[in-house]
Structure 1
Amino acid sequence: MLAAVAQCLRRAGVGAGARLCCALSGGVDSVVLLALLHRLRPEVGFSLEAAHVHHGLSPNASAWADACEAHCARLGVPFQVLRVAVDPAHSGGPEAAARAARHAALDRVPCDWMVFGHHQDDQAETLLFRLLRGAGVAGAAAMAVSVAAAPGRPGRLRPLLGQRRAGILEWARREALSWVEDESNADLRFARNMLRHRVLPSLEAAFPSAVPMLARACANFAEAEGLLADLAELDAQTCGGRIWRASSVLGLSVPRQANLLRWRLREYGAQAPSRGRLEEALRQLATATDARPLRVALGNGWACCVYRGVLWVEGVEEVSVQAREWRGEAALPWGSGLVRFECGLGVGLSRVRLQEAERLVLAARAPGVRLQLAPGRPRQLLRKLCQAAGVPAWLRDRMPVLWADDAPVWVAGIGIACSHACAPDEAGVMPRWEPGARAGA
């Protein structure tokens, strides 16, 4: 078992100087994991700490935290308790609520790798649980041994995922380790407990290799999911890269459209939508035209938008945007997207006129603002210009506007103020808004 953990660390690239944190529940799996990591620490050279999530759901919760603290003290491992509040109204029920709170807390721990004690029996249980909820290929892949770090979250390691729970128990007893037992693990009202105590034992009675075979199926699903991700990445590049041409996306088969949207949501760290919601979104997307902009909810706080032949995915909470001073950067973040500033000759905004301004700010529109798009034409209310250009109401408050002091000189989707337009032979800069393009830009 020690060799299996060491191999997992090597494959993940864990070496000297890496910061590991063991997610220590106090149960036998995490206690064994901590002991194994503690033994490997001098050899590999990583730093090690432990974190315990205090849910406050059990009358024994504080005693479990104390037991974890004492265990770490004996090993000389730094320890912290993370207290969380579990959402009683969580749509997935108390199990899902506790899991969400736990992972959110652990994701905030400053480390390179969060290490979990999940084992092969957990993997089989997770697969059955997700299949019974109608999971797709990604869900059926269950848990991965190694997941790379993402913005705001450390990497995740599960070195015991190939080990049976019986072997972990045997190792713990041989080493005379002590651990706590969560009384809720025996409550058959919880779906996972029913699978653990009733369904999996029955399966193993009929099929002795059920657990390793289910774990092998997870590996097969993970391989298939990797191929689907490769396909989605190719489709994304074909359709435009970070933001997509709507016509190119709609030219794909419906399953590839669905795969592309799921992949982009996972790339943004979002949960995939339900099949019903995704099918409805794709049905509505098929009706989008340049004259009919569209914003369709995908659920879980995300939406898919189509405007002027461009299709993107954004968070629905991106209603307000932060004003930012522009000092010549090639790009500035704007909501869930970017505004790029491209240099050219005779296009866009006059650099000379821009340099005359004391301050250039990228900000949202202001009430009553007017813009003159061409000499001899009247200065029109931006609201009227948006209506004439077919800018949908849901997009107007988040459209970026470049202000030269107190004057708007460029409005995304509308145009450039004639007072600051570049002459044919003059150096200019053209702002371009890419909604939903910020991640990975």
Structure 2
Amino acid sequence: MAVLAPLPAQVQRALVQAGVTEGSRLCCALSGGVDSRVLLHILTGLRARLSFQLTAVHVHHGLSPHADAWAAFCRELCVAAGVRLTVHRVDVARDDPAGLEAAARRARHRVLMASECDWLVFGHHADDQAETVLFRLLRGAGVRGAAGMAAWEAPAGQQPGRLRPLLDSRRAEIEAYAREHGLQWVEDESNEDRRYTRNDLRHRLLPAMEEGFPGAARTLARAAANFREASVLLDELAAMDEAACGGQSLERAQLLRLSEARCANLLRWQAGRLGAEMPARARLLEVLRQLHGVEAARGFRVALGALDCCCYRGKVWLEPSASLAGATARAWAGEAEVPWLGGVLRFSPARGEGLSAARLQAAQALRLLPRWPGMRMRLVAGRPSRSFKNLCQEAGIPVWQRERLPVLQVDGYAAWVGGIGTAAEFAAAADEDAVAVEWLPLVPPAGGG
């Protein structure tokens, strides 16, 4: 087998180290710029050698007058290389509070992470890593943020893994490879616009640093590797602390025995595991203040960006900030699945457990809706009915989750409430046909049920 040139050899080593094997499905994130152009060229050459499957994906942001031409260029490249290309058009909010760069990055990330593949492969290089580390440090990032980009991140759940096989190469090396092989690529004019922070770092600050400190980009990349090592240790500590505090839903008393730094580290780690950005330090300090200051019997909820930190009945947990939009009354006509606040309600045939099928068939009106004023329900035959508030208190459901609970109303009566259960009058007998209801919510109720 022929000896590979330095850059392809580096990419092959990175793929093998990440665990790419025969039959692995790789998808190249192809913008058409020089980095992804070179990456596609190298991956195409390695395809037969390593026996992986190769596709490509291009995200059309529509922000440049040349966006259509870039997509057409990528199509031509992939046709010539025998690589299937998917082009996704996204709408980017130009008035996003975080800025146009951040909005475009989020839109691109959503599309890429939905790709049907085992590994997404990016053309990020050492200069990109240096920019990322510097950008995050200047924004006050902690160890995790300063760790920059990993050379590879394993697939997790339904999401593909991420590979950056050019991360040890400089931009100049990649451009030299492109010229040597006569490759063409597109130039994004927005990369020259210094109104964007990362462009200003690339064109002004990093060159000045290289002049005063030769090799600064590689030094920053090495620092990122050191930060990443420290980040791994912090993650291992957080996992141990979570286990000691009772699991994902933390025991408040145990949590408060940790130092402030370990509490904050644990909550940051849990937020990252939920796919959220790292919470602002000020918000974390507010959580810790309330954890220490609020009486144990009282609950609280503090916003941490896209997540809320909740404390109730001695438990502390993170949950996505859920909107009540869509929690409106609707008729139920026997559908097997009904969406509810980002989650889903599932109805399935059962026997002797759940709602009485006969009672449902005899009903005049079946509706799904949130609780209503004065709503009551009896969970045990022969016992008094209970108010919705009392039912939630007994089930351990905090106040802020109660308005999210779906209610199946049968002829004006509450027959079933998510997180609480089935009313005695509508429960199926042991030998009776029934309808089982399963609620898979975006935000699980604290009490379950």
State the TM-score, normalized to the length of structure 2: 0.80
Aligned partner letter, 1:162: D
Task: Answer yes or no: is 1:306 the counterpart of 2:278.
Answer: no
Provide, for residues 313-358 of structure 1, a one-character-per-residue CA deviation record: whole Å limited to 9, x for no partner.
11111657899xxxxxxxxxx98999xxxxxxxxxxxxx9748944
2:9 maps to 1:3: yes
Q: CA deviation at 1:178?
A: 0.9
Superposed, which structure 2 residues align to 1:38-57 within 5 Å?
Answer: 38-57=44-63
Gapped regions of structure 1 (runs ≥ 5): 324-333, 339-351, 421-430
- The alignment partner of 1:92 has SS state of coil
Q: Distance in 2 between matches of 1:359 and 1:293?
A: 41
Q: 2:190 aligns with which of 142, 162, 184?
A: 184
Match of 1:224 in 2: 230
Q: Which amino acid aligns with 1:204?
A: E
Query: Does structure 1 residue 156 correspond to structure 2 residue 174?
Result: no
Is the Cα contact below 8 Å between 1:409 and 1:417 reproduced in 2?
Answer: no
Contact 2:355 2:422 in 1 (8 A): no
Offset of residue 226 of structure 1: 0.6
Q: Does the 8 Å CA contact 1:228/1:259 hold for their aligned counterparts?
A: yes
Q: How far apart are 1:312 and its partner, in Å?
A: 1.1
- Whether the aligned pair in 2 keeps the contact of 1:146 and 1:157 (CA below 8 Å) is yes
Query: Equivalences for 1:174-323 in 2 at 5 Å?
Result: 174-299=180-305, 301-317=306-322, 319=324
- Comparing 178-187 with 284-293, greater Cα deviation is found at 284-293
Residue-pair matches, total: 409
| Matched residue, 1:168 | 174
Deviation at 1:32, TM superposition (A): 0.6
Q: Give the 3 Å change call, closer, same or farther, for CA 290–413 of structure 1 in structure 2.
A: farther
Asked if the contact 2:354–2:422 (Cα under 8 Å) also holds between the matched residues in 1, the reply is no
Question: Residue by residue, what CA displacement relative to the aligned partner does 1:150-172 show, whole Å, maximum 9, x if unpaired?
Answer: 34532111000000111111111
Match of 1:118 in 2: 124
Once the two structures are superposed, what CA deviation does each residue of 1:230-289 show, in whole Å capped at 9, x if it has no partner? 011001111111211111112211111111111111101111111112211221222333
Q: Per the alignment, in what secondary structure is the counterpart of residue 293 of structure 2?
A: coil
Larger mean Cα displacement after TM superposition, 270-279 or 212-221: 270-279
1:71 aligns with 2:77: yes
Give the conservation status (yes or no) of the 8 Å contact 2:341–2:441: no
Partner of 1:62: 68
How far apart, in 2, do the equivalents of 1:359 and 1:123 lie? 64
What amino acid is aligned across from residue 217 of structure 2 in structure 1? V
Please name the residue that 2:431 is paired with: none
- Structure 1 contact 120–212 (Cα < 8 Å) conserved: yes
* Counterpart contact for 2:414–2:423, Cα < 8 Å: no
CA distance in 2, matches of 1:360, 1:21: 53
Contact map agreement 1:242 1:437 (CA 8 A) in 2 = no
- Residues 419/287 of structure 1: CA separation in 2 closer, same or farther (3 Å cut): farther
Is the 2:405–2:417 Cα contact (8 Å) retained in structure 1? Answer: no
Find the residue that maps to 2:167 and give its secondary structure: coil
Match of 2:363 in 1: none
Amino acid at match of 1:173: R
Equivalent residue number for residue 29 of structure 1: 35
Tell me if structure 2 keeps the 8 A contact 1:243–1:436: no
Hey, what does 2:108 align to over in structure 1? Answer: 102
One-letter code aligned to 1:91: P
> Structure 1 residues 284, 337: closer, same or farther in 2, change over 3 A?
farther
Q: Distance in 2 between matches of 1:42 and 1:276?
A: 52
Percent identity for Structure 1 against Structure 2? 50
- 1:101 to partner: Cα distance: 1.4
Quote the residue 1:88 is aligned against: 94
**Structure 2 unmatched runs, 5+:** 1-6, 331-339, 345-350, 361-367, 428-437
The Cα offsets for residues 67-114 of structure 1, whole Å up to 9 and x where unpaired, read as 111122221111122111111122221211221111112122211111
Other-structure match for 1:326: none
SS in 2 for 1:286: helix
Aligned-partner Cα distance in 1 for 2:282–2:354: 53
What letter corresponds to residue 226 of structure 1 in structure 2?
V
TM-score by length of 1: 0.81
Residue 15 of structure 1 aligns to a residue whose secondary structure is coil
SS in 2 for 1:289: coil
Q: Could you tell me how far 1:436 is from its partner in structure 2?
A: 6.3
Q: Secondary structure at the match of 1:296?
A: strand
Asked if structure 1 preserves the Cα contact closer than 8 Å seen for 2:322 and 2:443, the reply is no
Give the 3-state SS of the residue equivalent to 2:56 in structure 1: strand
Contact 1:360–1:403 (8 Å) recurs in 2: no
